[in-house]
């Protein structure tokens, strides 16, 4: 790696997340995009998939033709189960190569939990311990010696950013937490139609994963690091919009805590974090102000029930919930300004 330039490859460059990642990386001052990989469309130009990409970039290749000696960092924006196989192949052979995995392959610390949740055998179980799960704002320790960063899921990002500081500070009760999340259909990737039974994607709202959505295991794992007694329900919905997540999170505040105290605790916790924008008490928010950005808007509101409050959190699932957070994590690993390439 030359002093300031990081040579990157993107596996899964033609997916919904991959294209946002390539677009953002193409504008990052410290990045040289050396390889863009997919399974299909080999030889095609990346901007034929996304007209926003103006930089001159390599055409799509398959993973076999990448010269890994020239790559410092590989982003993996592949379906669950694929990143682990590729990282396993490369990890020992290319000891300077780092990985940021945007799939779920390294999010769960227990292999058995991964296999139960994703119904897949984990092919790189020895590497799970070597990876670190990182929501950038919550991962303050040094990441520069870590070779595998596991980027969080989109829904879990929208849930943990508002709740973790409040649970840590014991400002809310750990029981009866109701998480009602809505996502644009890009959350299911470019083959979204094959993943759902309902037909009217563009004119209906659809509740799915009602018993146990896959992201529950991830949220549960991270909550358990704060307290074993946290109980929540989580219901995701697909809405007729392409991108954006709004999570509405109903919690009970402690008797002696005021709503202003909750807002101030969040402001204090995130005071150095440009992307986290805590709004005034009772503000109405939505995905409209965060789409196309790495921002995360949070609003804490009263309800009619004593001590029950609702916290709204809005992010762009493809950016703060995936590609933007991956770049934020990259900036952390390479000790670059957290906002570089993201503003
Ligand atoms: N969508 C979101 O909001 C979101 C948010 C957070 C995390 N994620 C995670 O990010 C990953 C990518 O999601 P996505 O929504 O971008 O999916 P997607 O739209 O389906 O894109 C998948 C990409 O992976 C490539 N690919 C698939 N199988 C491959 C293989 N065996 N070898 C090489 N390339 C392969 C595809 O290329 P071909 O078309 O050529 O097969 C495509 O470029 C997933 O793990 C997802 O769970 C997604």
Instruction: State the SS3 of the chain.
Output: CCCCCEEEEEECCCCHHHHHHHHHHCCCCCEEEEEEECCCCCCCCHHHCCCCCCCCCCCEECHHHCCHHHCCEEEECCCCCHHHHHHHHHHCCCCCCEEEECCCCCCCCCHHHHHHHHCCCCCCHHHHCCEEECCHHHCCCCCCCCCEEECCCHHHHHHHHHHHHHHHCCCECCCCEEEEEEEEHHHHCCCHHHHCCCCCCCCCCEECCCCCCCHHHHHHHHHHCCCCCCCEEEEEEEECCCCCEEEEEEEEECCCCCHHHHHHHHHHHCCCCCCEEECCCCCCCCHHHCCCCCCEEEEEEECCCCCEEEEEEEECCCHHHHHHHHHHHHHHHCCCCCCCCCC
318 falls in which pLDDT band (50, 70, 90)?
very high
Region 309-332 average pLDDT: 98
> Based on the domain organization, do 146 and 170 belong to the same domain?
no
Residue 91 lies inside a defined structural domain of this protein: yes
The CATH number of residue 203's host domain is 3.30.360.10
Active site residue 154: yes
> Based on the domain organization, do 71 and 213 belong to the same domain?
no
> What mean pLDDT is reported for the chain?
96
What pLDDT was estimated at residue 197? 80
Alpha-carbon gap, residue 126 to 18, rounded angstroms: 27
CA 82 to ligand 1: nearest atom = 31
> Based on the domain organization, do 159 and 306 belong to the same domain?
yes
What is the residue range of 275's domain?
A: 155-317
Residue 340 lies inside a defined structural domain of this protein: no
Q: What is the number of structural domains in the chain?
A: 2
Which residues lie with the beta carbon below 6 Å from any ligand 1 atom?
11-18, 38-41, 63, 77-80, 82, 102-103, 153-154, 186-187, 189-191, 317-318, 321-322
> Based on the domain organization, do 263 and 179 belong to the same domain?
yes
What pLDDT was estimated at residue 145? 87
> Based on the domain organization, do 212 and 232 belong to the same domain?
yes
> Based on the domain organization, do 42 and 123 belong to the same domain?
yes
The CATH number of residue 34's host domain is 3.40.50.720
> Does residue 1 carry a pLDDT above 50?
no
Q: Is the pTM of this model over 0.75?
A: yes
The 10s digit of each residue's pLDDT in 191-211 is 998 988 877 889 999 999 998
> Based on the domain organization, do 85 and 13 belong to the same domain?
yes
CA 76 to ligand 1: nearest atom = 11
For ligand 1, pick from 48, 189, 241 the residue to mutate: most ligand atoms within 8 Å of CB: 189
Region 302-323 average pLDDT: 98
Quote the percentage of the chain above a pLDDT of 90. 94
The 10s digit of each residue's pLDDT in 247-272 is 999 999 999 999 999 999 999 999 99
Alpha-carbon gap, residue 47 to 54, rounded angstroms: 7
The 10s digit of each residue's pLDDT in 86-137 is 999 999 999 999 999 999 999 999 999 999 999 999 999 999 999 999 999 9
> Based on the domain organization, do 99 and 188 belong to the same domain?
no
Residue 100 lies inside a defined structural domain of this protein: yes
What residues pair up with 182 in beta bridges, in sequence order? Answer: 237, 246
> Based on the domain organization, do 161 and 148 belong to the same domain?
no
What pLDDT was estimated at residue 142? 78
2 falls in which pLDDT band (50, 70, 90)?
very low
């Amino acid at each position: 790696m030359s002093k300031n330039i990081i040579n990157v490859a993107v596996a899964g460059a033609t997916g919904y997340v991959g294209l946002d990642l390539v677009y953002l990386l193409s504008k990052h001052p410290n990045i040289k995009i050396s390889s863009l990989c997919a399974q299909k469309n080999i030889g095609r130009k990346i901007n034929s998939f996304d007209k926003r990409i103006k930089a001159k970039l390599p055409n799509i290749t398959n993973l076999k033709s990448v010269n890994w000696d020239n790559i410092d960092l590989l982003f993996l924006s592949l379906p669950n189960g694929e990143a682990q196989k590729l990282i396993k192949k490369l990890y020992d052979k290319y000891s300077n190569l780092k990985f940021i995995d945007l799939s779920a392959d390294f999010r769960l610390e227990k292999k058995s939990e991964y296999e139960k949740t994703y119904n897949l055998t984990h092919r790189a179980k020895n590497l799970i311990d070597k990876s670190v799960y990182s929501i950038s704002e919550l991962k303050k320790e040094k990441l520069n010696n870590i070779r595998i960063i596991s980027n969080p899921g989109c829904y879990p990002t929208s849930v943990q950013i508002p709740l973790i500081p409040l649970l840590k500070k014991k400002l809310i009760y750990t029981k009866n937490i109701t998480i009602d999340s809505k996502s644009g259909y890009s959350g299911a990737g470019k083959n979204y139609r094959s993943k759902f039974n309902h037909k009217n994607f563009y004119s209906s709202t659809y509740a799915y994963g009602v018993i146990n959505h896959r992201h529950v295991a991830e949220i549960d794992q991270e909550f358990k690091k704060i307290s074993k007694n946290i109980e929540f329900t989580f219901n995701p919905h697909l809405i007729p919009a392409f991108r954006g997540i709004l999570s509405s999170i109903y919690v009970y505040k402690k008797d002696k805590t005021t709503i202003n105290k909750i807002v101030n605790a969040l402001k204090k916790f995130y005071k150095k974090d440009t992307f986290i924008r805590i709004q005034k008490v009772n503000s109405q928010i939505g995905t409209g102000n965060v789409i196309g950005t790495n921002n995360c808007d949070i609003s804490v509101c009263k309800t009619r029930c004593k001590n029950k409050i609702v916290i709204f959190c809005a992010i762009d699932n493809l950016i703060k919930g995936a590609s933007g957070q991956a770049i934020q994590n990259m900036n952390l690993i390479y000790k670059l300004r957290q906002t570089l390439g993201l503003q």
